[in-house]
Amino acid sequence: MAKFDAEPNRRSYLIVQENLCDLRLGERRVIGEGFVRLRERVAAAGQDLGYRSFFSDRKPDFLYVVAVERGLDRREIIQRAEVLLLGGLAQRGKKEGMIIVDRAGIGYEVMQIAVPSHTAEAVAAGDALFGKLKITDTPIRLLPDGG
């Protein structure tokens, strides 16, 4: 419970929303498409968790991680999400980021973290979890109005 805002002061949700709303429509579309692909991959492979990471040139120090889980309890989801996010930040050399975990259609767990530096544990997790992932450079298709 220490990682969550107290009921009368739910400010963190607004900060998370700001970091999603700051993205252009094309960037939000890439994140949404990442969820669709992950859902398909997790279901086909029988995995309990799949994940992807994204970042934008517009927010060079911010990392987005999306994950889809199947069959994990909430405590396990939150613990794994924190390791994934800290590891992703270390591996990608970012200082701040968020992870959004799709809880098998039940809802979402969202976590945002800012770090001044990366611990040895985060670097090791990043190498293990993100070191072998393929990195692609995807141009974002913008709408005529720039959205």
pLDDT > 90 in the chain, percent: 48
* pLDDT for 122: 96
Contact 32, 20 (CB under 8 A): no
**Stretch 13-39: mean pLDDT, rounded?**
84
**Total count of domains within the chain:** 1
Query: Could you tell me which residue, 110 or 19, shows the higher pLDDT?
Result: 110
* pLDDT for 18: 81
Which of 30, 34, 18, 24 lies closest to 98, judged by CA?
18
- Whether 146 is in a domain gets the answer no
Q: Which domain range does residue 110 map to?
A: 11-130
Question: pTM value?
Answer: 0.81
- Whether 76 is in a domain gets the answer yes
- Whether 26 is in a domain gets the answer yes
